[in-house]
Amino acid sequence: MVDSIFFLHKLISCGPCDEVSFYMNLAFYSIQIQIETLEKHHECLKRQRDAVKYRLKKLAARQSEITKKSSVIREKIIRKYREIQAALDEDLRITLSHLEMEERAAVSALDGLMERNCSLIQEIEQDLARLTVAIMAQSDTEHDTMSFFSFPEQRDTETVDRVMDLLNRTDPSSVSLDEVKADQILSLTHNMLLFISSQTPLIRKLTHSYSSEVYLDPETSHPKLIISPQGDSATYTDTWQQLPDLPGRFDTTLNVISVQGFSCGRHYWEIDVSGKTYWELGVTYPSIPRKGNTEDCWLGRGVESWCVEFFDGEYTAWHGGLPHQLPFTKRFSRIGVLCSFPAGLVTFLEAENMTPLFSFCAGTFSECLHLAVCPGHDHKGTNANPIVICNASSPTSDQE
For residue range 353-365, what is the model confidence (pLDDT) as tens digits? 899 999 999 989 9
- pLDDT for position 310: 97
- pLDDT for position 27: 78
In this predicted model, which residue has the larger pLDDT, 135 or 79?
79
Quickly count: other Cβ atoms within 10 Å of residue 319's Cβ: 21
- pLDDT for position 153: 65
The answer to pTM > 0.75 is: no
Mean pLDDT for the chain overall = 87
Q: Which of 26-35, 140-149, 212-221, 276-285 has the lowest mean pLDDT?
A: 140-149
CA angle in degrees (0–180, nearest 5) for 179-183-188: 145
pLDDT at residue 146 above 80? no
139 confidence band (pLDDT: 50, 70, 90)? low
pLDDT at residue 199 above 90? no
Picking from 397, 393, 333, 352, the residue whose alpha carbon sits closest to that of residue 371 is 397
Residues of the chain within CATH 2.60.120.920 domain(s) are 210-389
pLDDT at residue 68 above 70? yes
Q: Cβ(242)–Cβ(376) under 8 Å? A: no
Looking at domain 210-389, its CATH architecture is: Sandwich (2.60)
Quickly count: other Cβ atoms within 10 Å of residue 105's Cβ: 12
Q: Which of 33-42, 170-179, 238-247 has the lowest mean pLDDT?
A: 170-179
- pLDDT for position 151: 55
pLDDT tens-place string over residues 92-123? 999 999 899 889 988 998 898 899 899 888 98
- pLDDT for position 243: 94
